Amino acid sequence: MKKYAFIIDIGKCENCQNCFLSCKDEHCGNAWPGYSRPQPLHGQRWLDILQKERGSFPLIDVAYLPKPCMHCDQAPCVAAGDGVVYQRQDGIVIIDPDKARGRRDLVSSCPHGAIFWNEEEGVAQKCTLCAHLLDGGWKAPRCVQSCPTGALVLFYGPEEELRKRIAQERLQILPAAQDGPGRPRCYYKNLYRYSRCFLAGSLAEQVSGVEECVIGARLVLQRGDEVIGEQLSDDFGDFKFDDLPDDRADCELVILLGEKEVKRQTVTLSNGQSVGTIRINR
């Protein structure tokens, strides 16, 4: 039995919005009988793009997280729907556009905010994975078709194959969805870019009366006795430990030149900051 799933690579999303816009192009003002009523021109985000800026000037990065309906197995909307919402055998969760009239309650059944209330149509609605297109022979929904970077991928295959990919590519579901209800069929690659924090900084030193970048210094990040990460400063004296918990824990950053420890300082892991420039003396 083949089933659909989203595989989304945060590392490749650049917020071009092609997915968001092609979704609106497909659904605003267009009714797809049996699948969906028209989406209103404004307001609904069947595929929302969240963003996260990490660090502080000038050591920052930005990640974007496209968030469609995750077409959960054991979806809470299906449970709440009393037959109005159903999951197809291929995994697509559909809100019946005719039966869902007046069912405003469905909006709050989704813990991810993926269901919207259409005032004009009097119906609850959401992403259909463009099932009307897939059923008509299309290879992908509009959002996937228009993605220029390969960030959005539609998986269609047996569950074992999906599980294999999840393990191999370290795919994850949204942290907020980890404890249910429902098991999302939307998996993220490089999710840490959005959900975890980094620790970045620059190393500088005085050489012959001017300030220079410290290139190739060894940096060790420790939490108690545990070494969390180790790396060399780059060509600009910059370093960046990534995929760290955003738990405001204190860590120890040890800087070594060769074998010699030249600096040790306590740092706090948190999303909104980088440690800035660390000046060292040999």
Partner 1 sequence: MRRLFSSMLRRSATVSGLLVKTMLRTLPALLRLRARTHRSFSSRLREKDLTALISVRAESIESAFALRAGLVSAVSMPTARETADVHLIFSDSATLLELLAEPDNFLGQLNALKNFRVDVRGEDHLVQWFLETLKQLFASTKSLDYGTRMTDGSHRYVNNTNGGPVFVYVRDGRILRITPIEFDETDGASWTIRARGRSFTPPRKGTVNPYVLGLRSLIYSKDRLLYPMKRVDFDPRGERHCGNRGVSGYQRISWDEALDIVAAEIRRVKIDHGPGAIMNSCGSHHTWGNIGYWLSARTRFMNSIGSSQVVHNPDSWEGWYWGAMHHWGNSIRNGASDTYGTVEDCLQEAEMIVFWSSDPESTSGVYGAFEGTLRRQWAKSLGIKMVHIDPYYNHTAALLGGKWIAPRPDTGSAMALAIAWVWITEGLYDKDYVAARTTGFELWRDYVLGTSDGITKTPEWQEAETKVPARVVRALARQWGSRKTYLSPGGLAGFGGACRCATGIEWARSMVCLMAMQGLGKPGVNMGCLQQGAPVDTHFYFPGYAEGGMSGDLDNTGLRVSLYQRMPQLPSMNPVSQVIPRLRIPEAILGESCEGYPTDPKSIEGQFRRFGYPAPGHAPVHLYYKYGGSHFGTMADSNRYARAYRSDKLEFVVNQSIWFEGEAKFADILLPACTNFERWDIGETANSGGYSHHQFIQWNHRIITLQHKCIEPLGESRSDYQIFLALAERLGLGNIFSEAMTELDWCRRLFTASDLPTRTSWKKFFKKGYYVVPAPAEANRAPVSWRWFAEGREKDVPELAPLPGDYKNRWRRGLQTQSGKLEFEASSLKRFAPDDPERPPLPTFIPSWEGHHCRELYSRYPLNLISPHPRYSFHTMFDGKDSILCDVKDHRVLLDGYYYWIVRINSDDAAARGIGHNGLVRMFNDRGEVILAAHPTDRLPPGTVQSPEGSAIYEPLGEPGRSPDRGGCINVLTPSRNIISRSHSTASNSCLVQIELWDKRDIS
Burial 227-256 (b: 16+ CB within 10 A, else e): ebbeeebeeebbbbbbebeeeeeebbbbbb
Least Å from the CB of residue 166 to partner 1:
23
By CB under 8 A, tell whether 34 contacts partner 1: no
Least Å from the CB of residue 83 to partner 1:
28
Beta bridge partners of 75: none
By CB under 8 A, tell whether 9 contacts partner 1: no
By CB under 8 A, tell whether 18 contacts partner 1: yes
Q: In what order do the strands lie in the sheet with 152-157?
A: 152-157, 3-9, 186-189
Distances (CA, A) of 101 to 16, 38, 72, 84, 119: 34, 13, 22, 9, 10
Site for partner 1 in 106-145 (CB under 8 A): 136-137, 142, 145
Is residue 249 within 8 A of residue 228, CB to CB? The reply is no
How far does Cα 18 stand from its chain's mean position? Answer: 16
Among 119, 159, 211, 261, binds partner 1 (CB under 8 A): 211
Least Å from the CB of residue 182 to partner 1:
26
By CB under 8 A, tell whether 231 contacts partner 1: no
Contacts to partner 1 by CB under 8 A: 12, 14-18, 20-22, 24-26, 28-30, 41-43, 45, 49, 51, 53, 55-58, 60-62, 136-137, 142, 145-146, 148-150, 204, 210-213, 215, 234-238, 277
